[in-house]
Structure 1
Amino acid sequence: MDDTGILHGLRLAPPSTTSWTPPPYAVRSRFTEQEVTVGTSPLAVPGTLTLPRKRGPRPGVVLLSGGGPFDRDETSGPNKPLKDLAWGLASRGVVVLRFDKVTHAHPDVVSAPDFTMSDEYVPHAVAAVRLLHRHPAVNAEQVFLLGHSMGGKVTPRVAAAEPSVAGLVILAGDTQPMHHAAVRVARYLSTMSPGPDIEAAIAIAAEQAARVDSPELSASTPNEDLPFGFPAPFWLDMRGYDPVSAAAGLDKPMLILQGGRDYQVTVDDDFARWRRGLDHRSDVTIRIYDADDHLFFPGEGPSTPTDYEAPQHVDPAVVTDIAQWLAPNRGKLTRFLPAAGHRRS
């Protein structure tokens, strides 16, 4: 649709007839699940706590999904990447908490005139961390955050708000300003389906991005003049946030992972910034998985949106590396351990 609300194109995709199936690395007999509530009324959200059957205090991790009104599994077509991670990590002895985003459970919050990225993530992420802290199955000194995409971008802000967080796992965390990335992604997609409609969409995206960069952007700038129709306070907050600087200011270990085939968050535009800002630190592990796309699904050739329509699972090497990094006995040597499918940056 253009900025006047006129529909220029419509594609009707057939409904998916394929249901999610567990990945091979998930061993269902090794864990149980229970429903929980994260946050307080009136914006509390439902979540799922995945508990290893093995007794004793275990490391715990809170999962944060990417930008958009995702459910707790980050459902994308027939795929559920956060459920893959939850079941894979729990099979390896990690307690995992995932929850529906407030924009999924309470979609009206997006229309609030002062809605920001912090409102979308921080209150419920902090509540989830504290829920794990109180749980008897969790080692309270080993509660971590794992964020994917925008969820990875915001993890340093959550950790600043909740200092008890033991460390961060950042999967395809974007560092390029989101309004710039939107133009870049539109241009990438235009190479696959060129035409006047996509060129018009690129022009509109570029115009809206320029408004975000403008010193004249204010809280009163109309939503319809800005990317995705998000309110100006959202963009003022986003414009002033540098996730790499925020992460550098934290005295916490980090695991930063990137898919080599990702066109949404890329090695050159986003991952390079994490590397420049943090690669000198001995407590930061940085890895690229050459075959993986934005959802860490392995594949070949250029990644496209249609790739997400086929049933897939998160790369087992990613799950194994995260589980080893979260393990209680992990040490500095883990940053040099080889694993199939990735390379040290």
Structure 2
Amino acid sequence: MRGKWMFTGLLLCLALMLLPAAAGRAALLPQPDAESLKEDALQVAEDMQTGNFAAVTEKFNAEMAAALDEDTLKSGWDSAVAILGDFLETISAESYEQGAYVVVDILEHYENNGMKLHIVYDGEGKIAGMQITYADVEEYEEETQSEDGAAAYTEEEVTVTADERVPLGGTLTLPVDVEKPPVVILVHGSGSSDRDENINGNKPFADIAHGLAARGIAVLRYDKRYYVYPDCPDVGSAEMVTLREESLDDVDAAIKLMQEDARVDGSHIFVLGHSLGGCLCPAIAAEHPQLTGIISMAGSLRPLWEISYDQNQEVIAAAEAGNLTEEQQAQLAEAAEQVEADTKILREDLDNQPDDGMLLGIPARYWKSIKEYCGMNFINEVKMPVLVLQGDADFQVYPEKDYALWQEALGGRDNVVFHLYEGLNHLMMPTQGKRDITEYAVKSHVDTQVIDDIAEFIMDVVK
């Protein structure tokens, strides 16, 4: 789960950010030449690759130097690159002006993925900000052919429109030589996400769409509303969002679109939700009893604040086990105290909380919708077939709690199928053994057994 608001609450443990791009007062001196700063940034990248972090910190401005010392920079860099394998080459370096600053973005190719180094220079040519993110550097490999070498599927653009002011681009993936196949609608996790659910070049929704289409099943995936329209000025800002605006209204529109599309079997529509989308599957099923089945992939029946609380407890424990300064210990204790206080409020009656009040860094308005659409409120209403999938290496949604709760709620039914996969993470891809966002640094694919199991479930239901 990821998004505009970090669901790790007040602890920014899952971010790869070494320091946000610094704001501050405009520079009084003329900016150095952008081309020379690009050359300097390339040298910074080389210095960090070779371990010369002292040379890098010497270029920091006063604010940056106060926020990030040499040891912390080294620790952050080493953690970020540890999983990437050998450095191969620098792909590109681009510079551009951003207000009073010059920004340089460097894309580097490593053995297992790419990395983007984002460096911000102030008007005196000093480094005012630095950020590291993983990035895709190669064309994504797709399952485009059947065993005999022929095309396995075709893809066509569609538009999902819940509100005329915010139409969403989508892709309908259709199997070749299958007339009116059953169709699966993919529902995203939290936060802004494209139709592929792209994270660091990993594209689980593209994998699932192509894999199922190659097995005779159509798939609809679409860009999430706040990915395309991050502010949505005509329909309320992101701070006004609830689960209806974030996801459910667009799911309604996607279902209607597939019911009316002559290329698929509108009487056999499945919804597959990932992460938050999996959490919403019971509510979606209750609102749309005409669906043929639902599939929860790494979802939960618990309210989201409980998952956030568990994530925070794990982060706090890991931080306490490290070598913290007294100042850092104090900051951690303060953050942990705030997590406890906010979670206590969330567990109680939210009706008296103002909609714009912040809890775990998220407006109470959103948390109220989380409470309203919690899966446990609807699961007893769901009579259609259900498939529950999770990896045992998932560190964002907890198998011992969340997968077990699905089994407790639905284990006695003969139209429910469960699969817990050894060694798969939250993206249903092979784990790298990490329990933070570096888990997703290496490009991978949804495990083929997962796709086989989804296809088998669907075909068993529709036969």
Matched, 1:34 2:156: yes
Describe the SS at the equivalent of 2:231: helix
Describe the SS at the equivalent of 2:265: strand
Give the drift of 1:118: 2.5
AA aligned to 1:84 is: D
Deviates more, 1:35-44 or 1:312-321: 35-44
Question: Paired residue for 1:220?
Answer: 354
- Please give the alpha-carbon distance, in whole angstroms, between the structure 1 residues aligned to 2:308 and 2:286: 27
Matched, 1:131 2:263: no
Deviates more, 1:314-323 or 1:123-132: 123-132
Give the paired residue count. Answer: 326
AA aligned to 2:399 is: V
1:22–1:84 Cα contact (<8 Å) kept: no
Describe the SS at the equivalent of 1:49: strand
Deviates more, 1:203-212 or 1:74-83: 203-212
Describe the SS at the equivalent of 2:151: helix
**Gap change, CA 1:219 and 1:202, over 3 Å in 2:** closer
Give the drift of 1:182: 1.4
AA aligned to 2:341 is: E
Which of structures 1 and 2 has the bigger CA Rg?
2
Question: Paired residue for 1:337?
Answer: none
**Gap change, CA 1:132 and 1:216, over 3 Å in 2:** closer
- Please give the alpha-carbon distance, in whole angstroms, between the structure 2 residues aligned to 1:313 and 1:23: 10
Q: TM-score, normalised by structure 2?
A: 0.65
Deviates more, 1:191-200 or 1:160-169: 191-200
Identity %: 30
Describe the SS at the equivalent of 2:256: helix
Q: TM-score, normalised by structure 1?
A: 0.85
Question: Paired residue for 1:338?
Answer: none
Once the two structures are superposed, residues 191-224 of structure 1 have per-residue CA deviations (whole angstroms, 9 ceiling, x without a partner) of 445443555443333332223234365352543x
AA aligned to 1:13 is: I
Once the two structures are superposed, residues 222-266 of structure 1 have per-residue CA deviations (whole angstroms, 9 ceiling, x without a partner) of 43x31232x322212212443144133122001001110111111
Unaligned runs of 5+ residues in structure 1 are: 332-345
2:134–2:441 Cα contact (<8 Å) kept: no
- Please give the alpha-carbon distance, in whole angstroms, between the structure 2 residues aligned to 1:42 and 1:301: 43
- Please give the alpha-carbon distance, in whole angstroms, between the structure 2 residues aligned to 1:170 and 1:206: 29
Once the two structures are superposed, residues 68-95 of structure 1 have per-residue CA deviations (whole angstroms, 9 ceiling, x without a partner) of 1111111111111111111111111111
Equivalent in 224, 228, 235 of residue 367 of structure 2 = 235
1:191-210 to structure 2, matched below 5 A, reads 191-193=317-319, 194=322, 195=324, 196=328, 197-210=331-344
Question: Paired residue for 2:219?
Answer: 96
Give the drift of 1:124: 1.1
2:301–2:402 Cα contact (<8 Å) kept: yes
- Please give the alpha-carbon distance, in whole angstroms, between the structure 1 residues aligned to 2:189 and 2:342: 22
- Please give the alpha-carbon distance, in whole angstroms, between the structure 2 residues aligned to 1:70 and 1:35: 17
Equivalent in 276, 290, 297 of residue 408 of structure 2 = 276
2:178–2:216 Cα contact (<8 Å) kept: no
Question: Paired residue for 2:166?
Answer: 43
Equivalent in 174, 179, 187 of residue 56 of structure 1 = 179
**Gap change, CA 1:79 and 1:17, over 3 Å in 2:** closer
- Please give the alpha-carbon distance, in whole angstroms, between the structure 1 residues aligned to 2:405 and 2:144: 32
Give the drift of 1:147: 0.3
Question: Paired residue for 2:83?
Answer: none
Matched, 1:308 2:427: no
Give the drift of 1:175: 2.4
- Please give the alpha-carbon distance, in whole angstroms, between the structure 2 residues aligned to 1:240 and 1:136: 35
Give the drift of 1:14: 5.0
**Gap change, CA 1:112 and 1:185, over 3 Å in 2:** closer
1:103-182 to structure 2, matched below 5 A, reads 103-109=226-232, 111=237, 115-182=241-308
Higher relative contact order (CA 8 A, sep 6+): 1
- Please give the alpha-carbon distance, in whole angstroms, between the structure 2 residues aligned to 1:99 and 1:259: 24
Describe the SS at the equivalent of 1:140: coil
**Gap change, CA 1:15 and 1:318, over 3 Å in 2:** closer
- Please give the alpha-carbon distance, in whole angstroms, between the structure 1 residues aligned to 2:361 and 2:401: 21
**Gap change, CA 1:177 and 1:31, over 3 Å in 2:** same
Deviates more, 1:214-223 or 1:150-159: 214-223
1:72–1:99 Cα contact (<8 Å) kept: yes
